Structure 1
Amino acid sequence: MKVLSLFDGISCGMLALQRAGIPVECYDAFEIDKYAVTVSKRNFPVIVHHGNVYDGDFTQFKGYDLLLGGSPCTYWSIAKKDREIDCDGEGFRLFQEYVRALEESGCQYFLYENNYSVHQNIKDEITRVLGVEPIMINSALVSAQNRKRCYWTNIPFTSFPKDKGILLKDVLESGVTWQDKSYCMTARYPGAVLFNTLERKQRTMVAEPVPINTYCNGETMPMGAAQRGRYVDGEKTEQHIEIREDGKSNCLTTVQKDSLVCSPVRIGQYGKGGQGQRIYSVVGKSVTLSANGGGQGAKTGLYKIDLPDGDYIIRKLTPIEAERLQTLPDNYTAGISNTQRYKCIGNGWTVDVIAHILGGLHDV
């Protein structure tokens, strides 16, 4: 089968074709995210990449069999303030490139995907243009993630995927969860903080038992600190408590906030105790927010939560756990930074859903 893929991302379409057992003669992809292309090339060196859809001459793909694509939902998503609700914006212009590819290539079969939350006005117009009704499938049937997506396709398939009964706890490398299913994995997951999960019902986080009493021979200790004003966006200033880590106080001055004591703050660590591996008590002052850094507690450190059955930290999902939510192989996105891995995974497809749909090609 000859395949043309628009907005290809990390080539979940190719992986889905393999899982569905569909032989692929050639696979041509259009994608502008350099990190996604890096992942695609590492996993599938045979894919031919062409860049931006706006620059595409799709007549060169005459005779191809299948067109895949899901134009970016950034402009249409309900999570976006002032999202587009009609067909005059950039979101629909990108969809029109998909339509142009379908017309110019003459592909016999097509599969188009987008967010279930897209405004009904836009969904109705997509339906009118493609000539088929959307089918909503929740990825929760085949993975540990709630992810409702609409699929427009002329590939004949007569049933929904069977519920595999996969729960969030089943995909964790370690730790425990208080949810059966993850919230939808999105490209914004790198910025996950606890209130996203508890209050906004998004960006799932999990609990990790704390190896307590691992700092200073099991004893918490006072920490020297200072309250500093730091510029934000080059104009306004914000006050931060900045902790010393050498056991010393700051220089005594006439300004009281220059030399403070916080106790307790840090109570443990993972690994070598880097910024993202330090454990802090919720009693005491916050660690200074770091603009960079990695680890389970990137940017802020890990905060201990006291629960009846023990002490836990709340952490983000690991990249491997995020891959499992999208039914990707472990370390499929390795080779780029974790931040970019999360973004690429969130922008991708749930592979087993796509494989189920593409399986209908066996019957044509």
Structure 2
Amino acid sequence: MNTENGINVLSLFDGISVAQLALKQLNIPINNYYASEIDKNPIKVTQHHFPGTIQLGDVRSIDTSELLPIDLMVFGSPCQDLSSLRKNRSGLAGEKSSLFYEALRILQEVKPKYYLMENVGSMSKRDRKIISDLLGVEPIQINSSLVGPALRNRLYWTNIPNVSIPTDNKIILQKSVENGWVDKRKANAILTKNVPYTRNGLIRYLTRSIGQVVFLDKDFCYESKERKLELIEDMNDEEVKKLFRPFTISELENMQTLPYGYVSSILKPTPGRKSIGNSFTLDSVKHILSHADFNTTMDE
């Protein structure tokens, strides 16, 4: 690799710039990193770690004629309208997830050597087929639980050749919390907003398997779900709070295989949780990008 030059990267819906972090950890030099993001909080994280990032703003206003030739384009268009967590999901026709078509426009205009798109594995078969047909490739399905302690089923569309499924590193959730006990081998999918730190929040976690909690009482942790619900039936919020706590932001960083302090040292818990929940899983993206060969592009 010619390290005197670097690749030009365009990252849409860049968030906290996990793709840029992955490239850095892979020792792939970057010449220009263009990022499209509109949320000030993840931008704050990105600019702290990578002050040279060129922020382009809203994806809908990007003029690709102003960009240098792009070697890698990364995007994970909003999943809100695609996820099965939405009762009445509108799919690619939805207000947010329809931004995929803006990403497609840009992809067709910049014609990068490589591209990588990520989105939720729970999308409908119809939306999955539409995306696959438009991109001309079938997705690779990777659950982040293979590389870290959290469940996160994702689809990755890419033209990077020979991408394999990562080897299961068998990291369990209990080894990943700072203190306390957990009743799952792997964490539930990380959400941008956790269950409330209340009795009803714990009931929601137990009955719907949503959000993250760490138990402060070991005996209570290892009770069955039915027994836990029975024990807290007559408790108030303050009593229940003695039994569990939410995950810390540092623990959520660990769930996404991010470096300690990558977000937690910059953002407060609420915007930090949202930024982490919207981010890529670092080690999943790093695994995929490790198969890319930029030699030809960089030496031209």
TM-score norm. by structure 1 comes to 0.71
Contact persistence 1:115–1:150 (CA under 8 A) = yes
Q: CA deviation at 1:324?
A: 0.2
2:151–2:188 contact (8 Å) kept in structure 1: yes
Please give the alpha-carbon distance, in whole angstroms, between the structure 2 residues aligned to 1:205 and 1:320. Answer: 14
- Tell me the SS of whatever aligns to 1:111: strand
Per the alignment, residue 90 of structure 1 pairs with: 95
Aligned to 1:63: 69
Larger % of helix: which?
A: 2
Instruction: Specify whether residues 189 and 76 from structure 1 end up closer, same or farther in structure 2 by C-alpha distance, changes over 3 A only.
Output: same
Letter in 2 for 1:202: I
Query: What percent identity do the matched residue pairs reach?
Result: 37
Is 1:166 paired with 2:116?
no
Higher relative contact order (CA 8 A, sep 6+): 2
Aligned residues: 273
Change (3 A) 1:80 1:283: closer
- 2:262 aligned residue (306, 311, 332): 332
Question: Pairwise CA RMSD of aligned residues?
Answer: 2.0
Task: Determine which of 200, 205, 215 is the counterpart of 1:207.
Answer: 215
> Cα distance, 1:190 vs. partner?
6.0
Give the Cα–Cα distance (whole angstroms) in 2 for the partners of residues 89 and 103 of structure 1. Answer: 22
3-state SS, counterpart of residue 27 of structure 1:
strand
Q: What SS does the aligned partner of 1:25 have? A: strand
Partner of 1:132: 137
Q: Deviations over 1:115-172 (max 9, x none)?
A: 0011111110100110000110000000000110000000113421111110101111
Alignment of 1:199-278 (within 5 A): 199-209=207-217
State the partner residue of 1:249.
none
Cα distance in 2 for residues equivalent to 1:344 and 1:84? 23
Taking a change above 3 Å as real, the CA distance of residues 196 and 21 of structure 1, as seen in their structure-2 partners, is farther
SS of residue in 2 equivalent to 1:189:
coil
2:289 matched residue in structure 1: 358
Q: CA deviation at 1:92?
A: 4.6
Asked whether the 8 Å contact 1:63–1:105 carries over to 2, the reply is: yes
Q: Deviations over 1:286-329 (max 9, x none)?
A: 35xxxxxxxxxxxxx5626xxxxxxx621111100000000001
What is the one-letter code of the residue matched to 1:348? S
Aligned to 2:224: none
State the distance in 1 between where 2:82 and 2:256 align: 21
**Aligned-partner Cα distance in 2 for 1:199–1:206:** 16
In 2, distance between residues paired with 1:208 and 1:201?
A: 18
Q: Aligned to 2:190, which of 173, 185, 190?
A: 185
Equivalent positions of 1:76-115 (< 5 A) are 76-85=82-91, 87-115=92-120
Q: Assess if the C-alpha contact under 8 Å between 2:70 and 2:110 holds in 1.
A: yes
Q: Distance in 1 between matches of 2:127 and 2:157?
A: 13
Partners of 2:93 and 2:233 lie apart in 1 by 51
The residue that corresponds to 1:53 in the other structure is: 59
Is 2:250 the counterpart of 1:320? Answer: yes
Query: For 2:161 and 2:24, how far apart are their aligned partners in 1?
Result: 18
User: Structure 2: 5+ residue runs without aligned partners?
Assistant: 1-6, 219-230, 296-300
Given the alignment of the two structures, is residue 286 of structure 1 paired with residue 236 of structure 2, yes or no?
yes
Query: Contact conserved, 1:62 with 1:104, CA < 8 A, in 2?
Result: no
3-state SS in 1 of match to 2:87: coil
CA distance in 2, matches of 1:59, 1:98: 15
Structure 2 vs 1, CA of residues 59 and 103 (structure 1 numbering), >3 Å: closer, same or farther? farther
Q: Could you list the per-position Cα deviations for residues 236-256 of structure 1 after superposition, in whole angstroms to 9, with x for gaps in the alignment?
A: xxxxxxxxxxxxxxxxxxxxx
Matched residue of 1:104: which SS? Answer: helix
Q: Gaps (5+ residues) in structure 1? A: 211-280, 288-300, 305-311
| 1:14 paired to 2:20 | yes
**Structure 1 moving runs of 4+ over 6 Å:** none
For residues 283 and 111 of structure 1, the distance between their equivalents in structure 2, rounded to whole angstroms, comes to: 47
Q: Aligned partners of 2:54 and 2:168: how far apart in 1? A: 35
> Take 1:158 and 1:283, find their aligned partners in 2: how far apart are those partners?
49
- Higher mean C-alpha displacement, 197-206 vs 349-358: 197-206
Amino acid at match of 2:240: Y
Which residue of 149, 156, 159 maps to 1:144? 149
1: CA distance, partners of 2:192 / 2:250: 15
Partners of 1:166 and 1:51 in 2: how far apart?
37
Change over 3 Å in CA distance of 1:285–1:171 after alignment to 2? closer
Aligned residue identity for 1:34: K
CA distance in 2, matches of 1:283, 1:63: 61
Q: What is the Cα deviation at residue 189 of structure 1? A: 2.0
Contact 1:20 1:356 in 2 (8 A): no
Asked if 1:74 corresponds to 2:80, the answer is yes
More strand by share: 1
Three-state SS of the structure 1 residue aligned to 2:293 is: helix
Distance across 2 between alignment mates of 1:22 and 1:302: 51
